[in-house]
Amino acid sequence: MMQNDGNALFGHKLGVVVSGSLTHGIDVKLDGSASVEDMAVGRYVTIKGQKRRFFGMITDVTLGVVDEQINVSPADASDSFLAEVLSGTITFGTLHVLPMLTIGGGVVGVEDAPQPVKTIPSHFSAVEVSSQRDVESVFGKEDDKKFFIGTPLDMEVKICLDLQEFVKRSNGIFGKSGTGKTFLTRMLLIGMLQKSSAVNLVFDMHNEYGWEGRSETGYKVKALKQLFPEKVAVFTLDEESSRRRKVSTDAVVRIGYDEIEPEDIALLRQTLNLTENAVEASYQLARRYGDRKWIQTCLNMENNAETQAILESMNIHEATFRNLRRGLESIKRLAFLTEKNGENAVDRILKYLDSGMNVVLEFGRYTDLTAYILVANLLSRRIYNQYRERTERALGEEAKPPRPLVITIEEAHKFLNPEVANQTIFGTIAREMRKYNVTLLVVDQRPSGIAEEIMSQIGTKITCLLDNEKDIDAVLTGVSGKNELRSVLSRLDAKQQVLIFGHSVPMPVVVRTREYGSAESLKSFSSLGVAEKGKQVEKDIEDLWK
């Protein structure tokens, strides 16, 4: 019997190929010495074909018998000797393996370079647990571009993401509530900060990414600003909340009514309970009074004959106007909104981003969706317009384009659902795939709420446990081997396990994510800074935990 130790299993023969197809995967009959109970969905195996090695993932484990009579009259379970005699001969286990890549053979000069699978191994090819060398040949080793995100199931070898490639497309982090999406997002933000040339703008709905966050059990964990004070700036909509939490902020954001456009109101239709006619009325009012004055004018209108005449001249029904007015009164209660804002928040954020600083915008007590959708959409649209102008100017003048930008949003289905995806700047960014050096990192627990067109454009999907069939279908839309991966995804642990597939990994991979929160783990995340600045930085990190 094998020990339940992934490292001890390297190179251990599990069984042989008995059937299969390129489309549906390979069936492997387990040797009698291999315990079915040691086989786990998501584990990697290597198949030694006659000309090449095949690298694949276990997607199912089944039991079989040679004689069906065994099922009718099973052996005495208390007789261990009889069970051992029958195991591997009359009774056996079967693995279903999905080959993903071939390693070696068939390509001159790049023998060890992983290649897409275009054939299958022959009958009776030996199947082994993948070795560390096999895994590293597929996923590479951690370096100045690759970021260690976790380890495969029952193995200690590092799985790395190529973050230089990661930031070239919009990406997504998905999972049901409580599966650790926030910790995973924070980890990836640290990785991008260290390993890529991109800067990040994070719309931090629950104040988890800037100064510090909390686990579900309540303990505090250091966030980006404390770990990388010279590379992260914290902006806030709620100065009072930041002060109470003793958060060191770099700027306070205020937004004027004159900065809100009808497009921002259209996105808030569901949260403000607006009718389609009310949204259309906002466009009419903006055309009449100008983008800078329409909201204040609307709020100042009195219920009199003059207002009635104005509405009739624009063919706006009185009930429609009242519906729009109620919605505007709702956002008026947000204290960070002012009649006229003297300082342009977009210009200030861009100043930090241009200097290579990552910006986290905390929302303080404004955790309702109205505030989050309004601010994230408004700021992102203006920043994107600036990036588009700069990129086009750079192309025309052969100048340097702006630094790549990743915008992180939570509750992504509110911005990218089928009803509004075509109207929001986030839908535009996802479809354009870094055309103007801007991409998204979307975080969501309801991927089924995101438009299918947008999901198809997401480059890399990092998925924690999902238990809703529609959400699983949405995440796996258009993925090769969808049915097999569905089985893997539905069996993830509720904590610290994710399925990663897409542009920045050579094949789907299940990993146990690296730890985040302890002093030792934060030292490893900050190793780049320690290497650059020496022992003083290491001492500063230790001081955080005294």
Q: What is the mean pLDDT of the chain?
A: 85
Backbone angles phi, psi at 9, to 5 degrees: -90, -10
Share of the chain above pLDDT 90, in %: 48
Extract the runs of DSSP E, i.e. beta strands, from 411-451. Answer: 438-444
The mean pLDDT value for 113-127 works out to: 90
Residues 409 and 274 in one domain: no
The mean pLDDT value for 104-117 works out to: 63
Domain count, the chain: 3
The mean pLDDT value for 422-451 works out to: 91
Domain presence at residue 529: no
pLDDT in tens, 394-416: 888 777 888 999 999 999 998 99
3-state SS, residue 126: strand
| pLDDT band, very low/low/confident/very high, at 9 (cuts 50, 70, 90) | low
Q: Long-range CB contacts (< 8 A, 24+ apart) of 472-475? A: 473/448, 474/447, 474/448, 474/450, 475/174, 475/447
Distance of alpha carbon 464 from alpha carbon 466, whole angstroms: 6
Domain that holds residue 382: 162-252+344-514
Pairing of strands 126-129, 13-21: antiparallel
Q: Which of 307, 337, 367 is the last residue of a domain?
A: 337
234 strand-pairing partners: 360
Residues 314 and 348 in one domain: no
Residues 25 and 42 in one domain: yes
Distance of alpha carbon 71 from alpha carbon 80, whole angstroms: 18
pLDDT in tens, 438-484: 999 999 999 999 999 999 899 999 999 998 999 999 999 878 778 88
In this structure, the number of other CB atoms found within 10 A of the CB of residue 207 comes to: 24
Can you give the pLDDT at residue 105? 60
| pLDDT band, very low/low/confident/very high, at 373 (cuts 50, 70, 90) | very high
500 strand-pairing partners: 462, 509
| Best CA proximity match to 255, nearest among 374, 420, 424, 399 | 374
Can you give 24-79 as a three-state secondary structure string?
CEEEEEECCCCCHHHCCCCCEEEEECCCCEEEEEEEEEEEEECCCHHHHCCCCCCC
pLDDT in tens, 503-531: 888 889 999 998 876 667 767 776 444 33
Residues 103 and 168 in one domain: no
Domain presence at residue 525: no
pTM beyond 0.75: yes
